[in-house]
């Protein structure tokens, strides 16, 4: 089955390319939430209503205009095992909600995995576009184009005053969530991060860790997204995020400059020390792996390490997640065992 690769390969095709400002912005993501008229939202929908939603939205796949995004593959959640679901979540192709709670849930994934369309998630339809680097505007344009195609076939729940109606009041209006994943080690090292992140929350944006778990960002990766979906146009939301992210990039750049010019020896030591530990350790928990990989990534960006590439590190970030580890070594693992396999995998990858 050709769909197997979605759960076998750690790196989506789109992540192999390097995007704009990709040494600081790892990826950009836009998702749009939509619901069909006259059918209860997934939480309250009857099983037959959920099936109807799935059938109606799957029909749209016949539209030839969707071919411009590459061949689309359909994965039905009921047909996936738990491990495959976990892997898809780790690749950000589906949400934990779709993996664990959906009825008649499905995801339509494009050939390069940059477009994923979730059906019967918290809302009937969630269109998600992913780009490497800082391309939040491109991601929006693609998402809205896909939205237009769906809209030409089905009637969405829409209200003059409230806009697109969504299950959760935090998504109503545009239904738009735009986010960028940023690697900000220099701002963390120079202890400016809290000041900057608290400023970000005051302009209608929100910050969270890479998989949304806990407020502490693992491996200096921060996901910054819009909080407000009602009362601003999509363009305003995207521009606001874009402007703020640009400023954070500048701060991170100047913090990096300062680190390398004022404490080159210390930085080299830190980077190479982490590289040494990753290349030799026998036990590596997720948190330490994330932190050490962050150091190594910074080393690559600063030119202190020249035989590794950013895509290789992106791959390691995904490969060292619990689901992928079990997939790679093809066995079920307890928490402690994972740390051993994680160390083994990193050693092998860095030793090449």
Partner 1 sequence: MLCQECGERPATLHFTKIVNGEKTEFHICESCAREKGETIPGTSGGFSIHSLLSGLLDITPGSKGPSTVKSTETLQCKECGMTYAQFSKVGRFGCSSCYKYFNDRLDPLFKRVHGNTTHMGKIPVRAGTHIQAKRRIDDLRQELQQRIIDEEFEAAAELRDQIRELEKGIPSE
Q: Which residues bind partner 1 (CB under 8 A)?
A: 33, 35, 37-41, 43-44, 95-97, 121-122, 144, 147-148, 151-152, 155-174, 176-177, 198, 201-202, 204, 206-209, 212-215, 225, 227-234, 236-237
Strand partners of residue 176: 32
State which residue, 56 or 297, has the beta carbon closest to partner 1.
56
Query: 63: which DSSP letter?
Result: -
SS3 content of the chain, % helix, strand, coil (to 5): 50, 15, 30
> Binding residue per annotation — 90?
no
Residue 118, CA distances (Å) to 58, 75, 242 in order: 11, 10, 25
State which residue, 233 or 280, has the beta carbon closest to partner 1.
233
> Binding residue per annotation — 178?
yes
> Binding residue per annotation — 31?
yes
State which residue, 144 or 254, has the beta carbon closest to partner 1.
144
Q: Which helix (H) or strand (E) holds 234?
A: helix 234-262
> Cβ 210 to partner 1, closest distance in Å?
12
- Residue 218 neighbours by CB distance under 10 Å: 20
> Binding residue per annotation — 143?
no
> Binding residue per annotation — 203?
no
SS3 156: strand
> Binding residue per annotation — 179?
yes
State which residue, 98 or 346, has the beta carbon closest to partner 1.
98
Query: 68: which DSSP letter?
Result: G
State which residue, 32 or 281, has the beta carbon closest to partner 1.
32
Largest pairwise CA distance in the chain: 65
> Cβ 127 to partner 1, closest distance in Å?
12
> Cβ 268 to partner 1, closest distance in Å?
34
- Residue 308 neighbours by CB distance under 10 Å: 17
Query: 297: which DSSP letter?
Result: H
Q: Distance of alpha carbon 222 from its chain centroid, rounded?
A: 11
> Cβ 302 to partner 1, closest distance in Å?
30
> Binding residue per annotation — 118?
no
> Cβ 13 to partner 1, closest distance in Å?
26
The annotated binding site for ATP is made up of 27-31, 92, 126, 177-181, 208-213
């Amino acid at each position: 089955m050709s769909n197997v690769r979605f759960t076998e390969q750690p790196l989506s095709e789109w992540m192999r390319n390097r995007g704009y400002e990709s040494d600081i912005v790892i990826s950009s993501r836009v998702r749009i939430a939509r619901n069909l008229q006259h059918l209860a939202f997934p939480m309250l929908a009857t099983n037959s209503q959920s099936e109807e939603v799935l059938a109606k939205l799957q029909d749209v796949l016949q539209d030839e205009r969707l071919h411009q995004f590459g061949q689309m593959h359909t994965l039905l959640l009921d047909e996936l095992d738990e491990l495959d679901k976990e892997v898809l979540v780790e690749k950000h192709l589906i949400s934990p909600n779709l993996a664990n709670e959906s009825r008649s849930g499905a995801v339509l994934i494009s050939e390069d995995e940059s477009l994923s369309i979730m059906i019967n998630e918290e809302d009937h339809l969630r269109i998600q576009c992913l780009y490497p680097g800082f391309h939040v505007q491109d991601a929006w344009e693609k998402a809205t184009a896909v939205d237009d195609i769906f809209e030409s076939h089905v009637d969405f729940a829409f209200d003059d005053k409230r806009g697109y109606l969504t299950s959760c009041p935090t998504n109503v209006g545009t239904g738009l969530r735009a986010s960028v994943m940023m690697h900000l080690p220099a701002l963390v090292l120079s202890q400016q991060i809290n000041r900057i992140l608290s400023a970000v929350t005051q302009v209608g944006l929100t910050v969270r860790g890479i998989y949304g778990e806990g407020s502490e960002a693992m491996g200096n990766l921060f996901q910054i997204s819009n909080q407000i979906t009602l009362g601003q146009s999509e363009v305003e939301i995207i521009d606001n995020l874009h402007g703020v992210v640009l400023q954070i990039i500048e701060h991170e750049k100047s913090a990096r400059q300062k680190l390398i010019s004022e404490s080159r020896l210390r930085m080299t030591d830190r980077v190479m020390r982490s590289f040494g530990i990753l290349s030799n350790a026998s036990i590596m928990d997720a948190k330490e792996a994330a932190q050490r990989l962050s150091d190594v990534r910074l080393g690559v960006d600063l030119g202190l390490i020249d035989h590794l590439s950013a895509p290789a590190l992106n791959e390691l970030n995904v490969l060292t997640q619990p689901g992928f580890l079990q997939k790679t070594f093809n066995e079920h693992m307890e928490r402690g065992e994972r740390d051993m396999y994680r160390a083994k995998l990193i050693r092998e990858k860095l030793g090449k």
